[in-house]
Structure 1
Amino acid sequence: MDNVTPFDIRAPFFDEDTDEKFDEDAPSRYRDEIIAQFERSAEGVALATSGQELHWADTFVEFVMQYVGAGLPDLDPDEFDGLIFEEIPRKVSVEASEASAIIAELRAFWNFLGRAYLLENAPGFVAALDDEAAVRLERELANPENYGPAKSMFMQGLNRGFDMSTEEGIQAWFSQHNRELGFAPPMNLSSADSSSGLGAMSLKKRSEKDRNRSRIARASRKRNGRK
């Protein structure tokens, strides 16, 4: 394992004897450590050297923490498929042309996990992240029917020519949108559903680490109950 520091990738977020002892900081530490290791790994360095900016693996792990509430070794094929082809198109405000880059980084990430940690689910996920997956993801990203409300609002502003990479541009679009609807007060950014994608416009910015902790706890309890 190159540049891999001691880290228990299989460590539970709950005490093994009782699911009431939940370490609230564990998901954030888990995510930060595994992403840092990926960025230092041969797979991550090779991708960065090719000119691709690394941030999609971080987004994926964030989604695992938010919507699955378990560690990467426990991710199953249905959850994996749903995160990539349902949650990313619904939540992430990004051009459909980025699909190939997303799939390439996730493939490198799972190659790293399979090599460094011998995760049993890694080979299957790597095989699933092929050219057909990139085509499928591009199609899902381009389909407005997949958008959540916040992403739909974001994409409308982008298509209208507003700079949606800045808070000023977002506020300008909200104000214009509300004027067109006949609403006097402009919509405030904080009133948008940050969990639906506006807070992670291009997913190059991290959302708050503590967001959705209660969701992680509930999801983890449900998973523990299934075992």
Structure 2
Amino acid sequence: GMSTIGECRYRQSIPQGSGGRLDINANYGVRREILPQGNRSYSPIQQPTTQQVMIDTISAGPTNVFLVGTHTNFALFLMSNPHLKKNVKHIYIMGGGVRSQNPTGCCPKNDTSCVPRQCGDHGNMFTTYTKNPYAEFNIYGDPFGAYQVFHSGIPITLVPLDATNTIPITESFFKAFEEQQSTYEAQYSFQSLKIARDTWFDDQFYT
């Protein structure tokens, strides 16, 4: 069938992490461990596909679309249903890194004594920081899919990593968060944040 990734070398280059697919699909197992689990089960023969859900929803009238992962599914929708593009009112995208500051290793020009290191505005490829420190997961995972979405002609609002970099996380905030976890949602959010801190670069996590 139609695909935007095929034997995509980008997606294949993303290591799965020490926990295999559990790392990338279930946030290191934190979701299942902390968040309440419902009684619903997935029946692939009975439930509509992602594509069918999008077709039904967007066919019904003007629709705002929020993309918070790779763009594969929505890109396939646009490629397969160009007549429905007029019903997509706006696309909001969480992804990309537009202004990665000093991506050359933070060494001044002509300074031969400086040892390049990872610095500046980092990407979020948690399992492959050393290989690609500035890539953003949602775009890197399917660049052709992202290309299809960005060039669709539909109005887009992009919320890149640059936006998240403006939200400070201090050590005092982290400590206060650690001491106030009265809900499952708070516990899950803190554990996710802690994973990011524990796998971050040197001592550059706190702002």
* TM-score normalised by structure 1 residue count: 0.27
* TM-score normalised by structure 2 residue count: 0.29
Larger Rg: 2
